Structure 1
Amino acid sequence: MRSRLTLLLALLLPVALPAAPDRAGVLTVMERAADWQLANPSEKWTPLIWHNAAFYTGVMALNKVSTSPRFHDAMMALGEKHGWQLAPRPYHADDHAVGQTYAELFFKHREPRMIAPMRASFDYILAHQPDDNLEFDREKNPTRLDRWSWCDALFMAPPAWVRLWKATGDVRYLDFAVTKWWVTSDFLYDRDEQLYFRDSTIFAKREPNGKKVFWSRGNGWVMAGLVRMLELLPADHPSRPKFVAQFQEMAAAVLRCQQPDGLWRASLLDASAYPMQETSGSGFFCYALAWGVNEGLLPREPYAAAALKTWAALETFVQPDGMLTHVQPVGFTPVTFDANHTEPYGVGALLLAGSEIHRLLTP
């Protein structure tokens, strides 16, 4: 297996590469990064906010491949400490993200209290739905954050709604997630480039090379959100072919933007304007491409090689103590930043990627 993967990488992406990863090595990197983040929680963010919630999704993915109970136990302790509450803003997609972890713990333990606050919150939204005005203008649309009006929201909220459907059998949660996904897609998805604008304020902006502005992590959020929708969306659901088509379109578009080192730059269509290596968008892309190969939705060639090359690069940014570097700070457009910067959501992306690379390497 190792020699075949090395040959595949060399043929498809002919640059100097380290040896193909092995499953044990992937797991070691994942555990080291997760342990560091758990031991060094960010002082900037409250525990239930999206910055950390994205990390927790990665911890749950790690829990599926690690034999240690410490990752499961850390997430159980989080839920118990906070009474299984979501973050405080009832409509805000970012504040729904932690519900993904609660639902996945519910799948294991089947304790209704784990999803009760989320269910009450989502029932309130269903009974008091806002309109579909997604214009991201503070003055014209002051309640814009009550909708999924920015592309990041597609990772934060819809997968939580779908998981609540899976936990309860109440199809209203699934219907809401699917319907609102396509409202956002119709508004933010550029059908020519097959990528997402971050929000409507970006529509008219252009990069120094004259091309449209497509933010790497923003599109990474969407691709990871597609994965987390598709992994639970029923095979016979009428919208599934549409989700699959968008996933495949975006995968092809993203692959064209991959740089020779296996990573993506903060701007997908103008890498030269932002030459810094960046790990959070790259981590989410690695996760999505590897998952697509694992599920048979993407052909093994060239996507497996692309994902493995990304993982080999990502590993180099996990420091000996486990800290992940080269994570773009919180934002909404491509920027330059301190190469030593780290954030919990970057670690979440790494762990999600590692979980699918680990599966990709299964003999």
Structure 2
Amino acid sequence: MGRFSWKYGVVVPVLLLSVGFGESVAQQVSYEHATAKQLAGIAKDNSRHFGDDPDDPGPLATDLSYKISPEAVGKAMRKVADWQLARSQPYFDRIWTWSILYSGFMATSESLNDPKYRDAMMAMGTKFDWKLRSHLPNADDQSVAQTYLELYLLKKDPAMMQPTRDELDAVLAAPRMSKIPGKELPWWWCDALFMAPPVWARMYAATGDQKYISYLDEEWWKTSDLLYDTKEHLYARDASYLTKTEANGQRMFWGRGNGWVMGGIARTLEYLPKDDPARPKYVKQLQEMSARIASLQGKDGMWRSGLLDQSNYALPEMSGSALMTYAMAWGVNEGILDRKVYRPVIEKAWAGMLHHVYADGRLGCIQQTGAEPAPFKASSSYTYGVGAFLLAGSEIRRMDSHSSAGKRVH
């Protein structure tokens, strides 16, 4: 059955897929009306092996259970992880789009007690000699060190840690302000709060040196002061979005951008010292954002690219939804969020996400790289969205277990 939907100011052809979730999901099958810039961005992502967006991705999976149980969640994680690992391992790189996938593989290996994914990460780190992409790396280029440092904390091989330490020390010694308007801060865009702070927290765990936490705390709250709306409890993507609005006149708050921040809080708190004076501020921000995000959850369990104008977006968006779900599940597991309030939100979100897993393990509905809401296909699958899904699954499995044994919490 077909229909047409008015989205993004154009007529977009869609199909309706029955997914057994009480309603149908609109699937875009054409970029006929996408802008040239959007098409060029998608083509670039695909050419760099971040993922792809075929017209015919095949049938959706029918062998997954929506139950929130370690067994059911683990089966979905393995299905998606195995498809992605086989597809992407030849193209591993150190750019942020890959580093988030690596974090998901690390979480999957620990959650499923399967060394396969961690072994692939060891091979990746060895391939790159445990080095970052650039000297004086920005947040994006620091992000791969989350995996390097987690492996160091397991293996205690100094070679895994020292190149990153050298670069972070160089960042500490360099000026922290640029002369670029709107980009004066090291972490001037909200995505950076997922990419870099968890690295600095892990470096503290690896070295015990307080200077890494001091930098982390100072720079996080500069970014928060600039981009966090204390009334909406949401982040603008960067300073250029402080006044941008959606078609309905509401402020533009990007789903994935806010997912990055929530996930970044969780991954930072995981290794932040318990006695860090700033720790309660991170906890409060996660609580505030979680409450706001829960209030915006769609009927299908997921969130749209534009959080405050959801009716303007035909499809739910996977990467933002998974990051938000991961952060809320982590918060429940750590006693930061009320289990009775957030478990139903998390259960509904997980069921919604499973409706976008294909029979071969492809994870769909992932928006291509960008800085704001944009059109994408239901088949669109990109590495960072898979990483976010695996992070969410790992915390959901832990949420339903009787203890957090084996989970590294510092």
Shared fold, TM over 0.5: yes
What is the match of residue 57 of structure 2?
none
The answer on 1:100 being equivalent to 2:100 is no
Q: How far off its partner does 1:20 sit?
A: 2.6
1:236-256 per-position Cα deviation (integer Å, ceiling 9, x unaligned)? 211011111111010111111
Partner Cα separation in structure 1 for residue 222 and residue 92 of structure 2: 30
Q: 1:151 aligns with which of 186, 190, 195?
A: 190
SS of match in other structure, 1:40:
helix
Q: 2:70 aligns with which of 13, 16, 23?
A: 23
SS of match in other structure, 2:381:
coil
Partner Cα separation in structure 2 for residue 81 and residue 235 of structure 1: 35
Partner Cα separation in structure 2 for residue 97 and residue 243 of structure 1: 20
What is the match of residue 205 of structure 2?
166
What is the match of residue 325 of structure 2?
286
The answer on 1:179 being equivalent to 2:245 is no
The residue type equivalent to 1:304 in the other structure is R
1:133-183 per-position Cα deviation (integer Å, ceiling 9, x unaligned)? 7843xxxx6xx5x71100000000010011011101111111111110001
The residue type equivalent to 1:267 in the other structure is G
1:68-125 per-position Cα deviation (integer Å, ceiling 9, x unaligned)? 2111100000001110011225231100000000000011100110011100100111
TM (norm. structure 1) is 0.90
The answer on 1:220 being equivalent to 2:220 is no
Partner Cα separation in structure 1 for residue 284 and residue 243 of structure 2: 26
Partner Cα separation in structure 2 for residue 306 and residue 250 of structure 1: 14
> Aligned-residue CA RMSD in angstroms?
1.8
1:245-268 per-position Cα deviation (integer Å, ceiling 9, x unaligned)? 111010111111111111000011
Partner Cα separation in structure 1 for residue 179 and residue 214 of structure 2: 19
Q: 1:89 to 1:330 in 2, by over 3 A?
A: farther
Q: 2:105 aligns with which of 59, 84, 87?
A: 59
Q: How far off its partner does 1:19 sit?
A: 5.1
1:289-336 per-position Cα deviation (integer Å, ceiling 9, x unaligned)? 111111111111220110111111112212121111100000110112
SS of match in other structure, 1:214:
coil
Q: 1:47 to 1:92 in 2, by over 3 A?
A: same
Task: Tell me whether 262-271 or 168-177 shows the greater mean CA deviation.
Answer: 168-177
- 1:42, 1:344 within 8 Å by CA — same for their partners in 2? no
- 2:66, 2:72 within 8 Å by CA — same for their partners in 1? no
Q: How far off its partner does 1:355 sit?
A: 0.4
What is the match of residue 6 of structure 1?
none
Aligned positions of 1:340-355 closer than 5 A:
340-355=379-394
Partner Cα separation in structure 1 for residue 269 and residue 219 of structure 2: 15
What is the match of residue 82 of structure 1?
128
Partner Cα separation in structure 2 for residue 209 and residue 133 of structure 1: 34
Q: 1:205 aligns with which of 234, 244, 252?
A: 244
Work out the percentage of aligned pairs sharing the same amino acid.
45
Q: How far off its partner does 1:225 sit?
A: 0.2
The residue type equivalent to 1:321 in the other structure is D
Partner Cα separation in structure 2 for residue 99 and residue 135 of structure 1: 28
What is the match of residue 82 of structure 2?
35
Partner Cα separation in structure 2 for residue 73 and residue 88 of structure 1: 25
TM (norm. structure 2) is 0.80
Q: How far off its partner does 1:21 sit?
A: 2.7
What is the match of residue 109 of structure 1?
155
Q: 1:238 aligns with which of 277, 283, 290?
A: 277
SS of match in other structure, 2:251:
coil
Partner Cα separation in structure 1 for residue 328 and residue 121 of structure 2: 26
What is the match of residue 5 of structure 1?
none
Higher-helix-fraction structure: 1
- 2:318, 2:366 within 8 Å by CA — same for their partners in 1? yes
The residue type equivalent to 1:347 in the other structure is V
What is the match of residue 31 of structure 2?
none
Q: How far off its partner does 1:132 sit?
A: 6.9
Partner Cα separation in structure 2 for residue 149 and residue 165 of structure 1: 23
Task: Tell me whether 69-78 or 25-34 shows the greater mean CA deviation.
Answer: 25-34
The answer on 1:193 being equivalent to 2:235 is no
The answer for unaligned runs of 5 or more in structure 1 is 1-14
The answer on 1:336 being equivalent to 2:382 is no
- 2:132, 2:142 within 8 Å by CA — same for their partners in 1? yes
